[in-house]
Amino acid sequence: MSNKQPLSFTVNGDVAETLISGGETLLTVLRDHLHLTGTKRGCNQGVCGACTVIVDGKPVRSCLSMAALSEGSEVATVEGLSENNVPSNIQQAFADNGAVQCGFCTAGVLVTVTAFLAENADPTTEDVRHALSGNLCRCSGYKKIIDAVMAAVMTQAAEASA
């Protein structure tokens, strides 16, 4: 007899259905069941932010979130930020501003910033620093990351006024 239970939720706009065991985290389901490996397993303790995804509009540490609690939820991962293979403004700003070093933290940072900018379209640099305080960069690339976020904000504002 199997101890598996069904899980159905929306991931990056598509319905995902899988069988999970009770102790599986959302991170494990995303990476191992759905093969969405952009979400990284860093510290596996909710400290580094590499596993951040958006669940029902809020950033969540997927390594700490039990998968079963995602039933019926809408989840966005870094793979879902681009549209039709066109990078989002924040992804493009990271590329344009050299905000990626080793890249391990990048997915979590991009997802965190995406959720943050959905709530605050006109942040200050200090707001961005605060929003990213839970995302650790092993390479200490914070200046370029913050510069990229502010560049994306400017691009977004220019597009909105056009």
pLDDT band for position 139 (50/70/90)?
confident
Cα 50 to Cα 71: distance, rounded to the nearest angstrom: 22
Output the six-digit token pair for 111: 């997802």
pLDDT band for position 160 (50/70/90)?
confident
pLDDT tens-digit profile of 76-129?
Answer: 999 999 999 999 999 999 999 999 988 899 999 999 999 999 999 999 999 999
| C-alpha separations of 9 from 18, 61, 69, 87 in Å | 9, 17, 10, 24
Spell out the domains of the chain, with CATH numbers in brackets: 5-80 (3.10.20.30), 89-161 (1.10.150.120)
The pLDDT > 90 percentage for the chain reads 88
Least confident span in 3-7, 28-32, 136-140, 145-149? 136-140
Phi, psi of 5 (to 5 degrees): -130, 150
Is 74 exposed, middle or buried (CB count within 10 Å of its CB: 0-12, 13-18, 19+)?
A: middle
Strand order in the sheet with 74-76: 14-20, 5-11, 74-76, 52-55, 58-61
Q: Is the pLDDT of residue 20 over 90?
A: yes
pLDDT tens-digit profile of 39-55?
Answer: 999 999 999 999 999 99
Residue 129's SS3 state is helix
- Whole-structure pTM value: 0.93
- Nearest alpha-carbon partner for 91 in 156, 9, 2: 156
Q: Is the pLDDT of residue 1 over 60?
A: no
Output the six-digit token pair for 139: 């390479």
Q: Is the pLDDT of residue 130 over 90?
A: yes
Phi, psi of 106 (to 5 degrees): -55, -45
pLDDT band for position 28 (50/70/90)?
very high
